[in-house]
């Protein structure tokens, strides 16, 4: 074995649905020396990050925010371990791979999970959600939680979180609404208070514009009350690492500008996240404009794909993400060919993730700095490279067919 | 709220027991742009990291290594969630704060935990371990696992892991030996195969010389067999995020240079860890020399403290860590005074962590780059600053007493 040296000389443009390219300032902040996790400087950075993340989800009501060392998956784990008790019913809205994951996580903590599945590439029908909620109420066993994957990274399907939340509030008001916003926060609108969301969970490496390695979660007072009431009955968290018994006092201490310790925070990642949150909430581009820029970039990519005859996995016009696009490759062309073609031109895109069609589609990320930085020149480059690579692959197929 | 800007202009020397200062190359690697977590470049970096971490713990036998996004605490969680079944007995050797933590983690997953506690600052008596093991065997309920905190970061106590493991192998050979090496790996000798350890768990931000945010764990084939046998009986992991059902296929894929996905790895941290592991296993200073340099640095700090009349929390000469030192401040002097004094001189040290004596002692880290880089000039600086600050605090006390 001869250890690798970093290949930054041949740095390609990352256009996958996370991790994403960082802004120059976030990149620079990431490279700073570690700080003490209990120093006043770091505690202030943590406190500010907890405040700014609340701004990004638009909550001003009492809520508890968590920033933990871990991947986005740890957000599911926090929900399962702290809000689910053995036998609780959960309704998981399934629009791709990540619905299966969330279900399996809740299973681990003893939930009885019902899935409401969309057709591949579609969104879940609100009428199906309504029926499920009503049936559960009718048999006297309402759902403890309903989970929504805001953007399923495997399909690029955008769910109407507002409509689902409204439906839950109407037909099963005691049910908590949990939004998996891993692939949507800061690239799609998330209105925690206005829509009545109880948990918004995310990760650092997508729209939030920081490196991977942080689980981010905001819980409403209602969710925390439920957890407290459960704790009073002596039912502890199902996991140690995800335990809110452990983390809530830590997050509340940081929220009050005081150091506290349960596990060592990933200080360098938190500083990078802080730098990105400053850009998102206090930078020259307001959050609303940032979201509009994501819509614009998304349109560029999707229209270009249409011109190339590529269909989107997300088949409903209103149910398409703005931070990523999942595209079927043209008939007879292989996804590997297209991915290879864009890579030769300096762009990294991602392969498929949904088993049934895994080799038939590619995924393109257009989030964060690539969209808002340098006038969105990354996205223009991505569009051009995709066009070239697809045309090349189609031409290659034609030539092969003739031989 | 006006968000903080990073205070790197006034960068102080971190001399806490983790996070620690990074080597220039690790620092530079940390600051590189994110890579795709499934790119061939990153998969190779992950593979090499999994190999090198095995070299650091000296295992060549079949074993499974894990590098997960999370803090060191996640290592405990992996042990509890995957190796403990409800009702299993565990023996936790307690030499400080982190023994309580490990116990509580195992409790979460249903273990019946016995503690063998040392006196504050002492090590656990091997005779006590032997007795506990024998008693458990006598009643027909041997321990499933014995846990050792190699260096308890709260006290600076170094446990004789080899002797404990030998004792377990002799009196309860079926029991797994778990070493919490968070604060010892790459600053103390760890011989996984030779000592017969079944799990070695650690974190990135101490002797391993990377930023915080990675949980590192190596499990012996015996531990994996036990987990597999349990899985065959249908007993799944108690946690989703820590689940070896999920992570083992991922780690085995990386081990074979193939990409796989469960959660997004913290790519920037993994690259920084990789850079540090290259230095540790293939750098100009061999690991054995690195350990000798830690002993030398430790001697410098401890002898200087002795001259200042400061007693060590770790009271047995053979039971003192080489990567950190916990020191009682002189009678009548406050720990805060000393910490403030060193901080004014540009060095950050840590306060106490053990409740009973929390305000009576300080903790000094001397690990990794501070010890092996630039001829150990960081440690010389730490020693000088500590002397000045303690003398100043003592003088201040004298003056105050006279008034």
Looking at residue B3, what is its pLDDT? 55
Q: Mutation target for A interface from B26, B92, B264: give the one with most A CBs within 10 A.
A: B264
* Residues B236, A108: C-beta atoms closer than 8 Å: yes
Average the pLDDT over B13-34 and give the result.
Answer: 97
Q: A344: annotated binding-site residue?
A: no
Looking at residue B5, what is its pLDDT? 47
* Residues A21, B35: C-beta atoms closer than 8 Å: no
Looking at residue A4, what is its pLDDT? 52
User: pLDDT tens digit string along B294-348?
Assistant: 999 999 999 999 999 999 999 999 999 999 999 999 999 999 999 999 999 999 9
| Average pLDDT of every residue of chain B | 95
Contacts of A178 (CB under 8 A, 6+ apart): A79, A83, A145, A146, A147, A148, A197, A198, A199, A201
Give yes or no for residue B232 having a pLDDT over 60. yes
Looking at residue B304, what is its pLDDT? 97
* Residues B19, A34: C-beta atoms closer than 8 Å: yes
Looking at residue B399, what is its pLDDT? 87
DSSP letter assigned to residue A240: S
Torsion, Cα B227 B232 B236 B242, to 10 degrees, reads: 40
Three-state DSSP state, B314: coil
Q: Mutation target for A interface from B17, B24, B26, B33: give the one with most A CBs within 10 A.
A: B33
The answer to whether the beta carbons of residues A93 and A106 sit under 8 Å apart is no
* Residues B263, A348: C-beta atoms closer than 8 Å: no
- A1 → closest Cβ in B28, B51, B71: B51
* Residues A239, B77: C-beta atoms closer than 8 Å: yes
Q: Mutation target for A interface from B9, B11, B34: give the one with most A CBs within 10 A.
A: B34
User: pLDDT tens digit string along B142-159?
Assistant: 999 999 999 999 999 999
pTM of this structure: 0.97
Between CA A152 and CA A156 the distance in angstroms is: 5
Give yes or no for residue B367 having a pLDDT over 80. yes
Query: Phi/psi of residue B295, each to 5°?
Result: -65, -45
Nearest CA in chain B to A348: B36
Minimum distance, in Å, between the CA of residue A235 and any CA atom of chain B: 11
Looking at residue A10, what is its pLDDT? 58
Minimum distance, in Å, between the CA of residue A349 and any CA atom of chain B: 9
Share of chain B above pLDDT 70, in %: 98
User: pLDDT tens digit string along B243-277?
Assistant: 999 999 999 999 999 999 999 999 999 999 999 99
The answer to whether the beta carbons of residues B391 and B397 sit under 8 Å apart is no
Looking at residue A7, what is its pLDDT? 43
Nearest CA in chain B to A339: B39
Between CA A386 and CA B283 the distance in angstroms is: 42
Nearest CA to B19 among A47, A205, A38, A210? A38
* Residues A36, B71: C-beta atoms closer than 8 Å: no
Tens-digit pLDDT string for chain A (403 aa)? 455 544 444 589 999 999 999 999 999 999 999 999 999 999 999 999 999 999 999 999 889 999 999 999 999 999 999 999 999 999 999 999 999 999 999 999 999 999 999 999 999 999 999 999 999 999 999 999 999 999 999 999 999 999 999 999 999 999 999 999 999 999 999 999 999 999 999 999 999 999 999 999 999 999 999 999 999 999 999 999 999 999 999 999 999 999 999 999 999 999 999 999 999 999 999 999 999 999 999 999 999 999 999 999 999 999 999 999 999 999 999 999 999 999 999 999 999 999 999 999 999 999 999 999 988 889 999 999 999 999 999 999 888 888 7
- A34 → closest Cβ in B22, B104, B105: B22
HSE-up (13 A, CA, CB side) for residue B171: 23
The answer to whether the beta carbons of residues A221 and A61 sit under 8 Å apart is yes
State the pLDDT confidence band at B6, using cuts at 50, 70 and 90: very low
β-strand pairing of B347-348 with B13-14: parallel
Between CA A152 and CA A149 the distance in angstroms is: 6
Domain range B24-281, CATH class = alpha beta
DSSP letter string, A147-201 = EEESEETTTTEEP-HHHHHHHHHHH-TTSEEEEE-TTTBTTB---HHHHT-SEEE
Q: Which residues of chain A make contact with B4, given a CB cutoff of 8 A?
A: 41, 44-45, 48, 274
The C-alpha R_g of chain A, in whole angstroms, comes to 22
Minimum distance, in Å, between the CA of residue A331 and any CA atom of chain B: 25
- Spell out where A3-118 has E strands: 13-14, 63-69, 89-94, 112-117
Minimum distance, in Å, between the CA of residue B171 and any CA atom of chain A: 30
Nearest CA to B332 among B280, B269, B377, B399? B399
Q: What ranges do the domains of chain A cover? A: 13-17+286-402, 24-281
Three-state DSSP state, A271: helix
Average the pLDDT over B109-129 and give the result.
Answer: 98
Count the neighbouring beta carbons within 10 Å of the beta carbon of residue A246.
Answer: 19
Between CA A148 and CA A125 the distance in angstroms is: 12
Q: For residue A303, what are the CA distances in angstroms to A307, A321, A327, A386, B106? A: 6, 14, 11, 12, 54
The helix/strand count (H/E) of chain A reads as 14, 14
Average the pLDDT over B219-237 and give the result.
Answer: 97
Q: Which residues of chain B make contact with A27, given a CB cutoff of 8 A?
A: 31, 33
Looking at residue B4, what is its pLDDT? 52
Q: Tell me: cis bond preceding A285? Omega within 30 of 0 counts.
A: no
Q: Which residues of chain A make contact with B44, given a CB cutoff of 8 A?
A: 4
A13-17+286-402 carries CATH number 3.90.1150.10: yes
- A212 → closest Cβ in B6, B51, B265: B265
Looking at residue B175, what is its pLDDT? 98
């Amino acid at each position: 074995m001869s250890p690798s040296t970093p290949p930054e000389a041949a740095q390609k443009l990352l256009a996958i649905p996370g991790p994403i390219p960082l802004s120059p300032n976030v990149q620079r902040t990431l490279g700073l020396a570690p700080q003490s996790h209990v120093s006043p400087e770091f505690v202030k950075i943590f406190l500010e990050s907890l405040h700014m993340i609340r701004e990004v989800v638009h909550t001003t009501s009492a809520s508890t925010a968590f920033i933990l060392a871990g991947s986005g998956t740890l957000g599911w784990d926090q929900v399962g371990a702290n809000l689910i008790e053995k036998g609780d019913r959960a309704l998981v809205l399934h629009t791709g791979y990540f619905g299966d994951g969330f279900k399996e996580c809740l299973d681990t903590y003893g939930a009885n999970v019902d899935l409401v599945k969309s057709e591949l590439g579609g969104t879940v029908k609100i009428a199906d959600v309504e029926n499920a909620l009503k049936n559960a109420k009718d048999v006297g066993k309402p759902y403890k939680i309903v989970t929504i994957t805001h953007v399923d990274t495997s399909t690029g399907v955008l769910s109407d979180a507002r409509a689902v939340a409204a439906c839950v509030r109407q037909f099963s008001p005691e049910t908590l609404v949990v939004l998996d916003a891993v692939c949507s926060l800061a690239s799609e609108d998330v209105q925690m208070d206005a829509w009545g969301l109880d948990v918004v969970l995310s990760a650092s490496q997508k729209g939030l514009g920081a490196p991977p390695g942080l689980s981010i979660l905001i819980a409403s007072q209602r969710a925390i009350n439920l957890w407290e009431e459960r704790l009073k009955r002596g039912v502890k968290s199902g996991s140690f690492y995800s335990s809110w018994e452990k983390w809530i006092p830590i997050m509340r201490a940081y929220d009050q500008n005081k150091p506290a310790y349960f596990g060592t925070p990933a200080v360098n990642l938190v500083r990078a996240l802080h730098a990105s949150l400053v850009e998102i909430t206090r930078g020259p581009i307001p959050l609303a404009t940032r979201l509009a820029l994501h819509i614009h970039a998304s349109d560029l990519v999707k229209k270009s794909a249409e011109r190339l005859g590529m269909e989107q996995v997300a088949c409903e016009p209103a149910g398409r993400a703005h931070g990523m696009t999942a595209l079927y490759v043209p008939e007879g062309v292989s996804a590997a060919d297209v991915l290879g073609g864009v890579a030769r031109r300096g762009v990294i895109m991602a392969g498929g993730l949904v088993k049934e069609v895994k080799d038939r589609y590619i995924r393109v990320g257009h989030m964060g700095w690539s969209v808002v930085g340098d006038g969105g020149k990354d996205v223009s480059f991505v569009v051009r490279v995709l066009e070239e690579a697809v045309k090349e692959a189609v031409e290659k197929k034609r030539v092969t067919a003739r031989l």
